[in-house]
Amino acid sequence: MSDAVEILCVSFLLPTARCDLHLSTTDMGWLTASVFLGMMIGGYMWGILADRRGRRQVLLFSLALNGIFGTAASLASEFWLFLLLRLISGIGVGGSMPVIFSYFSEFQPRKKRGAMISALATFWMAGNILAAGLAWLVIPNTTLNFHIGTLQFQSWRLFVVLCAIPGVSSVFLFWLLLPESPKFLMELSREEEAIAVFRCIFYWNHRSTRISFPITQLKLSPLVDKEKTSSGYQAKFDCCRFKQGLEPVKKLFTPPLLERSIPFIAIFFSISFGYYGLWMWFPELFKQIEETGGSPCSNGFHSSASKTTENVTCYPVNTSVYIEGFITASSNLPGNLLTILIMDIVGGKILLCSSLLLSGVSVFFIWAVKTKTQSLIMSCFFSAVSVITWNALDVIGTELFPTHLRSSALGFFTGVGRVAAILGNVTFGQLLDVTCAVPILLVSVLLFLGGLISLRLPNTKNVELE
């Protein structure tokens, strides 16, 4: 949830914050890109550390970083400081996506893993709805404004503080309630700690019975490198940190993982470029729909962000943009329910391919429709279908790569997705002032290509985690 809120936080605050921070079009583009840049850095960094130090510890540190600097950003009075704090906040939340799916999947039984990971992925929708709902309720409410010294604390700053709450609350949840992944502990021959986790899980699953815990010894992975558990390994890692950091990437692009990594990276690029490029600019597209009364591309697109800050009026806030964003975010629900119900039946590969192709069709019709209602319907359809793609990627990603590389792999591919997201935002920002059709049709083509490339992935339905 915290990653969805982090991304959409910037998107929803731009219509009002651009006046208070005196943002130009270029500034707005850098601000949206900074979140993805931070998440790109954090995704790979935290992914490697999760495979070395443990999933739980990394999640605690990364989410704490997100919460602290996300909250601090609300007090920034200058654009450069706000940009820097959002970048660091993005580095923190960048660890949540690759690591949480590795962590969660390692607790799940094989036959229910797809449905359970899909259920976890629904919290992305919850984050979308939370961000859109908070923006709708808080940002237009100018009665919430007050002063902290010389700083006028506007309603959008309160919105920034509220967006940091999911990250902070997750830190306390992990610290108080959740143990380390037993599969990770087994990978490092930490048998006693793994048995303690299994005993805790057994207790909660059988707390209404008198069945005693039956396990006294575990079958550890034959791939465990005993050097990893020695003090010499830590010294070696500290002395050769950069080289060690690149080692997981090298393994991903050598056989037999090479045949999985190449199509996976292409799919991640296509969906990230299209989804984030389009999603981050939805508020601006909806604003254009309000102004024209029809398609965002019907009369040519002249972004309000392209005007000088002196000519832009941010108050009173137009609430219709937030209402339409809330509706679009809520339309994730059918896609999430569908993946929970059928992921383990049809498999992630089929869902991934079909949803990418349908997403391409829906984006094409966002450009082709002629009325405001049609635009909103197609935007909702794109939201519902594209979330199936993300859920399928989450499931397949945890199943394609072995435990000792899983978080590193997901972190690396997530980082590639962030690069694509940055490019998507820059492309939309540069081309929307010229023509709306080019970036939207480009997204449609990329999603189609991603759907065709997904046919190259192996079928991972109901496979055991390596």
| Dist. CA 145–CA 69, nearest whole Å | 21
**DSSP letter string, 331-399:** THHHHHHHHHHHHHHH-HHHHHHHHHHHHHHHHHHHHH--BHHHHHHHHHHHHHHHHHHHHHHHHHHHH
Name beta bridge partners: 151.
148
**In angstroms, rounded to a whole number, what is the distance separating the alpha carbons of residues 419 and 425?**
10
* CB neighbours of residue 244 within 10 Å: 15
Condensed to tens digits (0 to 9), the pLDDT of residues 322-371 reads: 787 788 888 888 888 898 888 888 888 899 999 999 998 888 887 777 77
Whether the per-residue pLDDT at 84 is higher than 90: the answer is yes
pLDDT score for 466: 63
Contact 156, 148 (CB under 8 A): no
Tell me how far apart the alpha carbons of residues 408 and 39 are, in angstroms, rounded to a whole number. 14
Q: Are 281 and 433 in contact (CB under 8 A)?
A: no
pLDDT band, residue 221 (cuts 50/70/90): low
Average pLDDT of span 165-175 = 86
Question: Model pTM?
Answer: 0.74
Residue indicated by tokens 């999985």: 260
Helix (H, G, I), strand (E, B) or coil at 142: helix
Q: Each residue of 410-430: pLDDT tens digit?
A: 888 888 888 888 888 777 767
Quick one: CA torsion of 64, 65, 66, 70, rounded to 10 degrees? 110
- pLDDT at 150 exceeding the cut of 80: no
Token look-up 């209602």 returns 373
